[in-house]
Amino acid sequence: MKWLVWDFDGTLAHRVGEWPAWTQTLLEVLDRKTPGHGIDPELVRPFLRTGFPWHSPEVNHQHLDSADAWWGALEPRFAETFRAAGAEEARASEMARAVRGAYLDPERWRLYEDTIPVLEELSSSGWKHALLTNHVPELPEIAGRLGLDRHVERIFNSAQTGYEKPQPEAFRRVLDALVGTDEIWMIGDNAAADVAGAKAAGIPAILVRRRSDGVEPYCEDLTGVAEIVDG
């Protein structure tokens, strides 16, 4: 049995927009709630570089054991961002609660063009597919709407497990679950979380889409993955 373990966001799929996903989401909430706000996106971005579970991967968060608890833990960060953008306290809290629905908007999520063809090609050569990702609790629903449920057999999501990549336990749980595996690879776009984390757990890894100096093997897109894992 052979498994390919994929990252999700930035590897197989992405949230569309001019700005990174979380910055884009908060701007969409501002656009909806405060039309013509004129807020510079660069004011928003610094507030979203800390405070998410994956920003402190060494801290486990099994206590955030429901979607409401997970999102509730982030609302103060969102409210702080909106206050910095000029919103009053009550308005900032209202907009913070709206971030969840905006981020999950199915119209904003897209697969990369090479995702399905590459998954199908690899399946035809005997590979099974799993996801290992640091993401929101609703990831299975997002993946399902994108049609990935027809190709991916297992999902390991930090919002459910409480362990963020590159924490070793995130990878150990995959290895423990995929018993009887003869060969396994990790594929993702983050050199630290996906590649270094996997290699530390004894899993070979491929960096895709975002080059990082000294990290090999690397593929500019997914079309080179088959040559590496089947080579």
Rounded to two decimals, the pTM is: 0.96
Measured CA to CA, the distance from residue 3 to residue 207 in angstroms comes to 16
Given 56, 79, 107, the domain boundary residue is 107
pLDDT in tens, 148-167: 999 999 999 999 999 999 99
| 180, 214: one domain | yes
A 10 A CB-CB count for 126 gives: 11
Is the pLDDT at 231 greater than 90? The verdict is: no
Domain range for 57: 16-107
| 8, 120: one domain | yes
| 102, 119: one domain | no
Given 65, 83, 107, the domain boundary residue is 107
Measured CA to CA, the distance from residue 185 to residue 16 in angstroms comes to 27
- Residue 146 pLDDT: 98
| 118, 216: one domain | yes
Structure-token match 């999700």, residue found: 8
Q: Number of folded domains in the chain?
A: 2
Is the pLDDT at 219 greater than 90? The verdict is: yes
Mean pLDDT of 121-148: 98
pLDDT in tens, 60-96: 999 999 999 999 999 999 999 999 999 999 999 999 9
pLDDT in tens, 16-75: 999 999 999 999 999 999 998 989 999 999 999 999 999 999 999 999 999 999 999 999
Given 107, 124, 145, the domain boundary residue is 107
Q: Cβ-count burial of 117 within 10 angstroms (0-12 exposed, 13-18 middle, 19+ buried)? A: exposed
Query: Smallest Cα–Cα separation from 168: which of 142, 145, 144, 197?
Result: 197
| 9, 31: one domain | no
| 96, 147: one domain | no
DSSP-assigned letters across all residues of 90-124 = HHHHHHHHHHHHHHT-GGGEEE-TTHHHHHHHHHH
| 160, 48: one domain | no
Q: State percent of the chain over pLDDT 90.
A: 97
A 10 A CB-CB count for 73 gives: 15
